[in-house]
Chain A
Amino acid sequence: MNRTLNVARMQLVNKQTFVWVPALVLVGALAVTLAVYAILRSSGITGDTPFYGGGAQAPLWYFAVVGAQALTLTFPFSQAMSVSRREFFAGTLLIALATSAALALAFVAGGLVEEATGGWGMNGYFFKLDWLWTAGPVVAGLFYLALAMLFFIVGFAGATVYKRFGPVALTAVILGVLVILVAALWLVGALDAWQTVFGTIADAGPIGLTLAIAALVVVLAGVSFPVLRRATP
């Protein structure tokens, strides 16, 4: 257990990857978004219609990159540090969970600020998506946590397949997933079931969606481990 924690500490020795860059991406995206809102409001668009932006996604995409790099670069190094693959896996997911939790806290705090200030005083929202906050800030925070973990584990799982089986296998897996998605879209269209699908998603609400994402994270982590267990640096 001690060595698993040390893997987590190892990932934090260089704070750039897990702390400073995600923080910078978040603050940068927020600043740009607020600047755009301000310009739009000053150019005469009235405050009746609220603004929403997708900039909050930026740190999430960075998490996918971090997940991939944790494997391609830190895994070979951890092997030289005589760390077992199991310790590496557990320690890395632990630090990913901690960073995702920090990000989720920042999102919730930002959402509360937006609520208190009426969208930074200009009815513009970066963190607080109305549908997500219907179940309250705690559920919204758990949703962000699960989503950040999902981005991380997708990058991590992809890199694990790449490391173990090579680029052709990774491409095949990505194509396979795309084919399944397209087939699912076609099936829904053919059955004329779009209303049912959207209805189900709406019914699930933020809580259901959070649980679904969390389940996906668990499945991807469960698939990554056996693949990693026989990977070589």
Chain B
Amino acid sequence: MTVIDVTGLTKRYRDTLALDRVDLTFAENTIYGLLGRNGAGKTTLMSIITGQNLATSGDVRVYGQDPYENPAVLRRMCFVRESQKYPDDATPRHALRMARLFFPRWDQDLADDLVAQFRLPMTKTIKKLSRGQLSMVGVIIGLASRAELTFFDEPYLGLDATARQIFYDRLLEDYAEHPRTVVLSSHLIDEVANLIERVVLLDRGSVLLDEETDAVRDRATTVVGEAAAVDAFVAGREVLHREGLGRVASVTVFGALTAADRSTLRTAGLETSPVSLQQLVVRLTQQSADAPASSEGVPR
């Protein structure tokens, strides 16, 4: 079931086009990865869907209704932004108490548990927290809200590797018990690759890609084996990435494999391994930069 329906959404700030006629739908009970470079329009898109910002033109429907100033729809969503502001002199304890007032499905035990796991200091004022601790407050609100539509805006900023792992684990764990729609904007693509079921890639305000993560992965292949055999196979193909260790090479090539390709691989004694989603996304974004850039010069 579609829960968010975006049609022709355009957002123009004074001289920049943040979103350019975006059409997207988000389905119920799915984890989305909202990917794209800085300034691609990820935060703007999430802000407009959650009624925090206004569209220049176009239409957003959440559960069939316009979310702007619509409490019936708003209460089913949670979006703590990356640069979230908090009331003056508020502590994490205050912030969580306030959040509890507004999210009907709030789980206090989950919140307490996360506080302990993250070792978040509860009585320090928020403006004195480190960047990582600030992110923790947002992550805890997002997870414990159990909102039917939860948006995470680069939630890992400043978090150490352990804390990030806690976030990913707890998100999956809680999602399994309480399915909901999660939209996760991220730059650490490979870290979230195993988490996200669907990839939405934005570039300069437009949707570049909107596909199942597995389908995206099938767009490229990593071939592993003896270096000479690998080179022979990849000759004439578009190479995304190459790694070598002694006589063994691992090369990622663009394009799906045909049945003929697979039998060639078998006879050559080569193996395939999963592709890094990050390398693919980087490649796709660069391709799109190259496409209209013929007149202004190719960036790289």
Summed over the interface, the residue pairs from A and B with CB atoms below 8 Å come to a total of 86
Assess the A13–B94 pair: CB atoms within 8 A: yes
How far, in Å, is B103 (CB) from chain A's closest CB? Answer: 7
In the complex, A76 has a CB within 8 A of chain B: yes
Q: How far is B104's CA from A83's CA once the two chains are assembled, in angstroms? A: 12
How far, in Å, is A133 (CB) from chain B's closest CB? Answer: 36
How far, in Å, is B85 (CB) from chain A's closest CB? Answer: 4
How far, in Å, is A7 (CB) from chain B's closest CB? Answer: 8
Assess the A232–B71 pair: CB atoms within 8 A: no
Assess the B88–A83 pair: CB atoms within 8 A: no
Interface string of B80-109 (1 = CB under 8 A from A): 110011111111001101110111000000
Assess the B102–A13 pair: CB atoms within 8 A: no
In the complex, B53 has a CB within 8 A of chain A: yes
Asked if A85 meets B89 with Cβ closer than 8 Å, knowing A13-B97, A77-B98, A230-B54, the reply is: no
Assess the A14–B87 pair: CB atoms within 8 A: yes
Q: How far is B81's CA from A184's CA once the two chains are assembled, in angstroms? A: 46
Among A3, A16, A77, A84, the residue within 8 A (CB) of B85 is A77
In the complex, A6 has a CB within 8 A of chain B: yes
In the complex, A233 has a CB within 8 A of chain B: yes
Q: In chain A between 174 and 233, which residues have their CB closer than 8 angstroms to a CB of chain B?
A: 229-230, 232-233
Among B77, B87, B103, B147, the residue within 8 A (CB) of A74 is B87
Chain A neighbourhood of B99, CB < 8 A: 81
Chain B neighbourhood of A69, CB < 8 A: 87-88
Asked if A3 meets B71 with Cβ closer than 8 Å, knowing A9-B101, A81-B99, A83-B102, the reply is: yes
Interface residue stretch chosen among B44-52, B250-258, B268-276:
B44-52
Assess the B89–A14 pair: CB atoms within 8 A: yes
Assess the B102–A81 pair: CB atoms within 8 A: yes
In the complex, A82 has a CB within 8 A of chain B: yes
In the complex, A87 has a CB within 8 A of chain B: yes
Q: How far is B38's CA from A176's CA once the two chains are assembled, in angstroms? A: 40
Chain B neighbourhood of A16, CB < 8 A: 89
Among B52, B70, B94, B102, the residue within 8 A (CB) of A3 is B102
Asked if A17 meets B71 with Cβ closer than 8 Å, knowing A3-B102, A82-B77, the reply is: no
Assess the B71–A84 pair: CB atoms within 8 A: yes
Chain B neighbourhood of A82, CB < 8 A: 50-51, 71, 74-79, 102-103, 147
Q: Which of B71, B76, B103 has the most CB of A within 10 A?
A: B71
How many positions in chain A have a CB within 8 Å of any CB in the partner chain?
A: 28
Asked if A77 meets B52 with Cβ closer than 8 Å, knowing A13-B97, A84-B71, the reply is: no
Assess the B81–A80 pair: CB atoms within 8 A: yes
In the complex, A116 has a CB within 8 A of chain B: no
Assess the A17–B79 pair: CB atoms within 8 A: no
> B80's closest neighbor in chain A, by CB?
A80
Chain A neighbourhood of B53, CB < 8 A: 232
For the residues of A in contact with B, the DSSP-based class is: helix
How far, in Å, is B84 (CB) from chain A's closest CB? Answer: 6
Assess the A73–B85 pair: CB atoms within 8 A: yes
How far, in Å, is A139 (CB) from chain B's closest CB? Answer: 35
In the complex, B141 has a CB within 8 A of chain A: yes
Q: In chain A between 4 and 55, which residues have their CB closer than 8 angstroms to a CB of chain B?
A: 6, 9-11, 13-14, 16-17
Chain B neighbourhood of A81, CB < 8 A: 98-99, 101-103
Interface string of A65-105 (1 = CB under 8 A from B): 00001001110110111111111000000000000000000
How far, in Å, is B89 (CB) from chain A's closest CB? Answer: 6
Q: How far is B272's CA from A31's CA once the two chains are assembled, in angstroms? A: 81
Chain B neighbourhood of A11, CB < 8 A: 87
Q: How far is B85's CA from A72's CA once the two chains are assembled, in angstroms? A: 9
In the complex, B296 has a CB within 8 A of chain A: no
> B141's closest neighbor in chain A, by CB?
A80
> A79's closest neighbor in chain B, by CB?
B52
Q: How far is B101's CA from A9's CA once the two chains are assembled, in angstroms? A: 8
Chain A neighbourhood of B243, CB < 8 A: none
Q: Which of A76, A77, A233 has the most CB of B within 10 A?
A: A77
Assess the A232–B52 pair: CB atoms within 8 A: yes
Q: How far is B76's CA from A13's CA once the two chains are assembled, in angstroms? A: 23
Chain B neighbourhood of A77, CB < 8 A: 84-87, 90, 95, 98
In the complex, B177 has a CB within 8 A of chain A: no
Assess the A3–B84 pair: CB atoms within 8 A: no
Chain A neighbourhood of B74, CB < 8 A: 82-84
How far, in Å, is B236 (CB) from chain A's closest CB? Answer: 51
Q: How far is B98's CA from A79's CA once the two chains are assembled, in angstroms? A: 12
How far, in Å, is A36 (CB) from chain B's closest CB? Answer: 30
Residue pairs across A and B with Cβ atoms less than 8 A apart, 7 shown, are: A13-B90, A14-B94, A17-B87, A79-B52, A82-B74, A229-B69, A233-B85
Binding site for A on B (CB under 8 A): 47, 50-54, 69-71, 74-81, 84-91, 94-95, 97-99, 101-103, 141, 147
